[in-house]
Amino acid sequence: MEYLDIVDENDCVIGKASFDEVKSKGLRRRTVNIIVARDKSLLEILIAKRSARQVSSPNKWHVSAGGHVDSGETYIEAGYREMREELFANQTPPVPPILSEIARYLNDVPAKRKFENTCLLYAVHPGPFTVDNEEIEEVRWVNPEEVVRESRRLPEEYTATLKDAIVRFEEYRSRHGV
């Protein structure tokens, strides 16, 4: 059974519960989202189309990888696990990516009883990728600005998570002169 840490808005652990209990009671938990860039220029990022089997946002374009942080795991550890599961068919890639933190923020949707402390990470990795078809239908390289334009034109094809992550990623690139 998968357990998650229950956290407060300051990211302090205040308990532990099963994934199902956290979801059903709308308890605050930690999540991680990862944007993978093809190279250090950060001009191309990998986006993932969620599988039709996904309960949340099926068939929508999403961040490169992401998910819940298991109990006792750090954001970075969860980021590596999620990348390994979703992009490398549960194998350790020959050249493991280095994950860097972009931002931490509250990602709350009270109407859906979703309360998350989210950490956005990025990694540089050119691939190749072997996706988990249970979670991801396909991946593709895109320019972040293209995602912003396309998500405005066709908002129903992109997750809110991806749209928010791209804004934060672009702010990061601007702050760091990339």
Q: What are phi and psi of 132, to 5 degrees?
A: -85, 105
pLDDT band, very low/low/confident/very high, at 112 (cuts 50, 70, 90): confident
CATH number at 62 reads: 3.90.79.10
pLDDT at residue 95 in the model: 81
- Whether residue 35 is contained in a domain is answered as yes
25 vs 95, more confident:
25
pTM to 2 decimal places: 0.94
- Whether residue 24 is contained in a domain is answered as no
- Whether residue 52 is contained in a domain is answered as yes
Q: In this structure, which amino acid lies at residue 155?
A: P
| Number of folded domains that form the chain | 1
- Whether residue 15 is contained in a domain is answered as no
- Whether residue 23 is contained in a domain is answered as no
- Whether residue 38 is contained in a domain is answered as yes
Q: With a cut of 90, say whether residue 59 has pLDDT above it.
A: yes
Residues 6 and 14: beta-carbon distance below 8 Å: yes
pLDDT band, very low/low/confident/very high, at 87 (cuts 50, 70, 90): very high
- Whether residue 37 is contained in a domain is answered as yes
| Alpha-carbon distance values, 44 to 12, 111, 127, 162, 169 (Å) | 35, 34, 12, 15, 12
pLDDT at residue 55 in the model: 86
Mean pLDDT of 118-136: 95
Its domain, for residue 128, covers 31-103+115-175
pLDDT band, very low/low/confident/very high, at 130 (cuts 50, 70, 90): very high
- Whether residue 70 is contained in a domain is answered as yes
